[in-house]
Amino acid sequence: MTNIMASSPTGAGPCSDAEWQVRADLALAYRLVDHFGMTDLIHTHISVRVPDEEGHFLQLPYGHLFGEARASDMVKCDVAGGIISDPTGLGISLGGFCIHSAIHMGTPRAACVMHAHTEATIAVSNYRDGLLPLSQHALRFYGRVGYLDYCGAFDTQAKRDALPQALGDGDVLMLRNHGPLVIGASVAECFSRLYYLERACRIQIATLSACRDTARELVWPSEADCAFMSRAFQGGESVIAREWNALKRLIEAGEMDRVVPSP
Residue type for position 135: S
| 93 found inside a domain | yes
| Domain boundaries, position 140 | 2-254
> Which pLDDT score is estimated for 1?
42
Reported as a single tens digit per residue, the pLDDT across 189-239 is: 999 999 999 999 999 999 999 888 776 789 999 999 999 999 999 988 899
**Per-position DSSP letters for 20-57, written without gaps between them:** HHHHHHHHHHHHHHHHTT---TT---EEEEPTT-TTEE
Tell me the pairing of strands 46-49 and 112-115: antiparallel
Task: Could you list the beta-strand ranges (E) of the chain.
Answer: 46-49, 56-59, 75-78, 83-85, 112-115, 145-148, 172-175, 179-184
Q: How many other C-beta atoms lie within 10 A of the C-beta of residue 118?
A: 22
| 239 found inside a domain | yes
| 259 found inside a domain | no
First to last CA, the chain: 21
| 262 found inside a domain | no
| 110 found inside a domain | yes
| 156 found inside a domain | yes
Reported as a single tens digit per residue, the pLDDT across 113-143 is: 999 999 999 999 999 999 999 999 999 999 9
- How many structural domains is the chain composed of? 1
What's the CATH number where 54 sits?
A: 3.40.225.10
Its pTM stands at 0.91
| SS3 state of residue 236 | coil
| 40 found inside a domain | yes
Reported as a single tens digit per residue, the pLDDT across 38-84 is: 999 999 999 999 999 999 999 999 999 999 999 999 999 999 999 99
